[in-house]
Structure 1
Amino acid sequence: MSVDQHADHDVIKHRHRSEGPQKHIIVFIFSIILTVIAFATVAAGGVNATFTVILLLIMAILQVFMQLGYWMHLKDKGHLMPILFMIFGFFVAGTAVIMALYWVWW
């Protein structure tokens, strides 16, 4: 192996593989499908209200995780601190909601 080939091999070996737009397009299409399903479920009108609320909540949670993972890139390495801060924020917000409900009802 010549010096030039060895240098090219090292460059190729150390490059980061980019994700490309394929996964973003798939996630975008999946988000559109979830949104259409949500609108169709509510527009149908004859669907049980409890089922509709549960379905909407599940689809909303799926969309949040997809958007955090792919659009906000939290699935990549080096994003531990933002994830921890968001978890702490959800904990504080959840605690505030629970305490407000407790304060109002008891």
Structure 2
Amino acid sequence: MTTKQHSPDSPVKHRHRPEGPQRHIVVFVFSIVLTLIAFAAVAAGGVNPTFAVILLLVMAVLQVILQMGFWMHLKDKGHMMPIIFMLGGFFIAGTCIIMSLYWVWWD
């Protein structure tokens, strides 16, 4: 395998540094904290059900963003096609859910 050498006058001086476990540990701890908050909100029992559902949905979206970005490395360069396909899938799934709810509750 050959490596590409840059001359000292080359404008490209950045080297790719491997991502260490520090970010993964921070994201893992943040995910655990979000899970504990969700569990506490439901286990408390005195929380308004509407607030609990909204809180759970917001924390679920945060979990998805964190896990897609850091664990699946979608924050890195060169991952635009998987992101586009996932957004397309979310759009189609959301449309199907909305239309099925509309169809069920049609007067």
Q: Structure 2 regions of 5+ residues with no counterpart?
A: 1-5
1:59 aligned partner = 59
Please tell me the root mean square deviation across aligned C-alpha atoms, in Å.
Answer: 1.9
Deviation, 1:14, is 5.6
Alignment-mate amino acid for residue 33 of structure 1: V
Alignment-mate amino acid for residue 34 of structure 1: L
- Give the TM-score, by structure 1 length: 0.84
2:90 aligned partner = 90
Quote the Cα distance in structure 2 between the aligned partners of 1:40 and 1:93: 30
- Give the TM-score, by structure 2 length: 0.83
For residues 36-75 of structure 1, the aligned pairs below 5 Å read 36-75=36-75
> After TM superposition, which residue ranges in structure 1, 4 or more long, deviate above 6 angstroms?
none
Greater share of helix: 1
Deviation, 1:88, is 0.4
1:22 aligned partner = 22
Once the two structures are aligned, what percentage of the paired residues are identical? 74
Number of aligned residue pairs: 98
Q: Structure 1 regions of 5+ residues with no counterpart?
A: 1-5
